[in-house]
Amino acid sequence: MSAVLRIFFVSLATTFLAGGCVTASPEKSKAEGLLFTFFREPNGQGGLQLATSTNGLNWTEIKAPSGSGFLMPKVGGKLMRDPSLALGPDGTFHLVWTTSWGRPPVFGYASSRDLIHWSEQRAIPVMEDAPDAKNVWAPELFFDVEKQQWLIFWATTIPGKFPETETSGDNNHRIYYVTTKDFKTFSKTKLFYDGGFNVIDATLLPANGKFYLVVKDETKNPVKKDLHLAVSDHAEGPFSKASLAISRDWVEGPSAIEVGGKYYIYFDHYTPPKYYGGITSINLTDWQEISGTMSFPSGFRHGTVLKVPSKMIKHLVDYGHHP
């Protein structure tokens, strides 16, 4: 037996002795793969869906052997829209999601080491200081290395809170957030981003030592419904004035990543012709839509893109091939 094969079998045996599953390493893997979470219509009752890609353009679904999702929603309104997944420095995956269209003002939370076996789901209450808050939409996770804590931010409408945009249409959202180090104790809810317009679906892209906040201008009167960038020196802000639109209108659910020296922002074009697509840039200033060169699984809706160890992708694919 060659030395390479000996190393392989020793590693395999160690894995099974550790519990029979592959977990993410807290150290940066030499080989990284791309993973995308998503949900399907009508409201994600089918649970967490996953897809993978080698180039950031063409995405292949990873199917769970049950034929449903990798995690089925059980808390709040028992929906799973907008699943946001992030890998922590200790190798634990954390997932948050939208549990309902309205009240109660909570988001769903669960964690996993391998994306197959999950912790008990919890409904995390927020907006407790705003008893008339109408909703909690599209919670997003981001680990702030500078402060060694997690940011969780989402969109909420509080009636009468921002009267200057009260008639903009489709509610009147701003982005709020909490911080946590352990997902047990959470800070008081604070305002994360107010660009002076109705805003939803925020996500953070770290690049060049700065933090780019991608947001959707939800204004309907007159129609905006497009994506913008705001920038900060810190993950927690404060953020600059929003850029001019970087996308076409009637898109939402952005998720952003750098792949091979290019930046991609994916989006859901949710009006006819409905499609999932994206834009790309090499300088974060000039953006070009490249949806025609992209492909996604059928029914793909708003999720999160991230880099994970390649062995994790293989483990998920192998898992999906077994009944």
The DSSP annotation for 5-27 comes to HHHHHHHHHHHHHTTSS----SS
Q: What is the mean pLDDT of residues 165-176?
A: 95
Q: How confident is the model at residue 322 (pLDDT cuts 50, 70, 90)?
A: low
**pLDDT number for residue 21:** 55
More confident residue, 232 or 66: 232
pLDDT score, position 323: 58
Q: How many other C-beta atoms lie within 10 A of the C-beta of residue 203? A: 25
Residue 16 lies in a domain: no
- For the CA atoms of 95, 103, 192, 246, what is the dihedral angle to 10 degrees? 80
Residue 144 resides in a domain: yes
CB 75, CB 58: distance < 8 Å = no
pTM of the model: 0.91
Predicted confidence band of residue 30 (pLDDT cuts 50, 70, 90): low
Q: Residue 87, SS3?
A: strand
- Region label for 248, one of left (φ > 0), alpha (ψ between -120 and 50) or beta (otherwise): beta
Q: Which residues of 229-249 are buried (b: 16+ CB within 10 A; e: fewer)?
A: bbbbeebbbebeebbebbbee
220-231 pLDDT tens trace: 999 999 999 999
Mean pLDDT score, 288-294: 98
More confident residue, 15 or 93: 93
8 A C-beta contact, residue 297 and residue 311? no
pLDDT recorded at residue 11? 38
Answer whether residue 23 shows pLDDT above 70: no
Is residue 67 very low, low, confident or very high in pLDDT (cuts 50, 70, 90)? Answer: confident
Residue 32 within any structural domain of the chain: yes
Task: Tell me the mean pLDDT in the region 84-112.
Answer: 97
Q: Specify if 211 maps to a domain.
A: yes
Within-domain flag for 62? yes
In a domain? residue 10: no
Q: Say if residue 14's pLDDT is above 60.
A: no
Regarding predicted confidence, which is higher, 153 or 14?
153
C-alpha–C-alpha distance, residues 99 and 108, integer Å: 6
pLDDT one-digit tens code per residue, 303-317: 999 999 999 999 999
- 251 with 245: CB under 8 angstroms? no
HSE-CB of 302 using CA atoms within 13 angstroms: 27
pLDDT above 90: residue 15? no
Angstrom distance (rounded) from CA 159 to CA 138? 19
At which residue do the structure tokens 């709040």 appear? 76
> What is the rounded end-to-end Cα distance, in angstroms, of the chain?
32
What is the chain's length? 323
258 sits in which H/E element:
strand 251-259
- In whole numbers, what is the pLDDT of the chain averaged over residues? 91
Q: How confident is the model at residue 41 (pLDDT cuts 50, 70, 90)?
A: confident
Asked if residues 191 and 161 have their Cβ atoms less than 8 Å apart, the reply is no
How many domains, in total, are found in the chain?
1
Residue 1: predicted pLDDT: 44
Whether 74 is in a domain gets the answer yes
Q: Which of 100, 220, 87 is nearest to 142 (CA)?
A: 87
Check pLDDT > 90 for residue 287. yes
Q: What is the mean pLDDT of residues 40-46?
A: 91
Domain, as residue range, for 263: 26-320
Q: Which residue has the higher pLDDT, 170 or 143?
A: 143
Tracing tokens 């699984």 back to the chain, one arrives at 297
Please check the confidence at residue 16 and state whether its pLDDT lies above 80: no
Distance CA 259, CA 235 (A): 21
- Beta strands per DSSP E along 182-250: 190-193, 199-207, 210-217, 226-232
pLDDT tens figures, 272-283: 999 999 999 999
- Upstream peptide bond of 297 is cis (omega within 30 degrees of 0): no
Does residue 28 surpass a pLDDT of 60?
Answer: no
What CATH number is attached to the domain comprising 113?
2.115.10.20
Structure confidence at residue 313 (pLDDT): 96
Q: What's the rounded mean pLDDT across residues 58-86?
A: 94
Identify whether 15 is part of a domain.
no
Cα 41 from chain centre: 17
pLDDT of res. 57: 98
Q: What is the pLDDT of residue 22?
A: 61
Give yes or no for residue 58 having a pLDDT over 70: yes
